[in-house]
Structures are given as C-alpha cells and as structure tokens.
Amino acid sequence: MGTTTGPVKHVVLFSFKETTTEETKAELIRGYEDLTTKIDVMRHFEWGADISVEDLQGGFSHCFITTFDNVAGRDAYIPHEAHQAYVKVLLPHLEKLLVLDYVPEVVC
Amino acid sequence: MGTTTGPVKHVVLFSFKETTTEETKAELIRGYEDLTTKIDVMRHFEWGADISVEDLQGGFSHCFITTFDNVAGRDAYIPHEAHQAYVKVLLPHLEKLLVLDYVPEVVC
C-alpha cells in the first residue's frame, strides 16, 4: 500500500455508447481537457485511446490520467463545480466507466 | 486518437483472489517490480493500491503502469520470456484483470 502523502494518480477508463457520434466523442474529450484550465489542482493530465493487442481491455476504449499533488487535491477535484458539470454532460454518453486512484510507488 | 510513434503507457489493473495471502500478494508485486531488472524496454514502472473514494473501481484493487519508448517496446515486452514466466505465476492468483495501452496526449 502506498502512503497517502505523495502525489495521487486518478485513472479513469471509459467507453462511449454506440449512439454517441465521433464528433460528440471528440467534444467530450475536449471538455475533459478543458477542465485543466478550470481546476488548478489538476497538476498533470493525459489521455489516450486504447491500442492494446492483448484483448484484455474489458470493453474500455479510453484512458485518462490526472495527477494531483496529494489526496487533498483529489478531494478538492471530485466535488469541484466544473468537474461535476462535466460529469453531468459526459455520463449519458458512457457505456462503461471505471475510476481508480493510487499513490505511485515508482520503481524505475 | 494518439499516434503510434510516441511512448506507450501499458495500464494493468487487477485484483487478487480471496484465497491469496497478503504475503503472496507482496511477493507477486515484487515479482512484477523485478521484471524491470530483466526487461530493458520497461523504461518506467510504477504501481499502487487503489485509494479511490468514488466506488467506481469495479472490483479492481491495484494499478500498474509501464512506459515503453514506442509500440515496438510494448511488442517486445509481451512475449518476453521473463514476462511470460511472471504471468504464469501471477494469473492463478487473480480475480480480475484488465490491460489497456495508450499513446498519451499530454494536456498539461
């Protein structure tokens, strides 16, 4: 188990519903990116579409990772008005959603 | 969609079976860490146990992220003898497993 004093990585995996258009998918991802301009505890943010070849992605198509300085940053992010407004727009378009946070043990 | 020329992040989520002891869990995690000494394409490796408070982790308890320089690194890692030997030891202890790879779009 990691300590809770170091940086926190916030891992979000999701997949879109079949009915969500490519244009809307791109808009929704831009909306997630735009949160970084509104929520200052988002110290680092990156994302990407799945390119795994092992067929173990369990139906998830995208990964988004936010880094917070500490648990307090994560705890400020979750209820943040801009985050909550984004979640309201995003959720109706999601087929699957998974969120996991961890304090990294950096091995190399 | 990311390009496939940049670094590749290899995200592994899993949870252990109830029958796996804490001692064995720690050994298995050390085994994953030890792969970094045997497989040189593992440029960066970090892991952590879940500390999410949103109850959306879908039964997954641990996250491991390996960074490869490119898709070729990822493609060398998967069939690597040391990786395959580790997978053989690990799999009988896993309740759930998810693997997703992405080329990061770094927003900030």
ipTM metric: 0.94
User: Is A92 an 8 Å CB contact of chain B?
Assistant: no
Are the CB atoms for A42 and A77 separated by under 8 Å?
yes
User: Is B40 an 8 Å CB contact of chain A?
Assistant: no
Q: B53-78 pLDDT, tens per residue?
A: 999 999 999 999 999 999 999 999 99
Residue A5 has pLDDT above 80, yes or no: no
Min Cα–Cα distance to chain B from A3, Å: 9
State whether B9 and A48 contact (CB < 8 Å): yes
Q: A37-59 pLDDT, tens per residue?
A: 999 999 999 999 999 999 999 99
State whether B101 and A4 contact (CB < 8 Å): no
Across the range B99-108, mean pLDDT stands at 97
Q: A71-96 pLDDT, tens per residue?
A: 999 999 999 999 999 999 999 999 99
Cα–Cα distance, B60 to B28 (Å, whole number): 16
Q: What is the pTM of this model?
A: 0.95
Q: A22-38 pLDDT, tens per residue?
A: 999 999 999 999 999 99
Is B44 a known active-site residue? no
Across the range B2-18, mean pLDDT stands at 86
Q: Which residues of A form the catalytic set?
A: 77, 80
Cα–Cα distance, B65 to B63 (Å, whole number): 7
State whether B52 and A101 contact (CB < 8 Å): yes
Residue B1 has pLDDT above 70, yes or no: no
